Amino acid sequence: MPSNGTVDAVSRSATHTLIKPNQDYIRLVEGLGVEGDAHLGKTVKHRSRVARDPSQPNLRQVHFIHAELHDELRLKDFDVRAGQMGENITTRGIDLLALPTGTRLHLGDTAIVEVTGLRNPCAQLDEIQAGLMAATLENGADGTLIRKAGIMSIVLAGGTVQPGDTIDVEMPEEPFRPLARV
Position 108 scores a pLDDT of 93
CATH number at residue 77: 2.40.33.20
Let me know if residue 176 belongs to a domain. no
Let me know if residue 107 belongs to a domain. yes
Of the candidates 46, 146, 159, 171, which has an alpha carbon nearest to the alpha carbon of residue 110?
159
Let me know if residue 17 belongs to a domain. yes
Domain limits for position 66: 3-170
Domains identified in the chain, total number: 1
The beta-strand segments (E) located in 12-110 are 22-23, 26-29, 33-34, 62-66, 89-92, 104-107
Let me know if residue 165 belongs to a domain. yes
Let me know if residue 179 belongs to a domain. no
Let me know if residue 83 belongs to a domain. yes
Position 37 scores a pLDDT of 97
Position 168 scores a pLDDT of 97
Position 45 scores a pLDDT of 85
Position 46 scores a pLDDT of 76
Helix (H/G/I), strand (E/B), else coil: 83? coil
Position 49 scores a pLDDT of 77
Let me know if residue 162 belongs to a domain. yes
Contact (Cβ atoms closer than 8 angstroms) between residue 47 and residue 74: no
Residues of the chain with pLDDT under 50: 1
Encoded amino acid at 82, one letter: A
Position 43 scores a pLDDT of 93
Phi–psi pair at 74, nearest 5 degrees: -65, -35
Let me know if residue 181 belongs to a domain. no
| pLDDT tens digits along 39-61 | 999 998 877 777 788 889 999 99
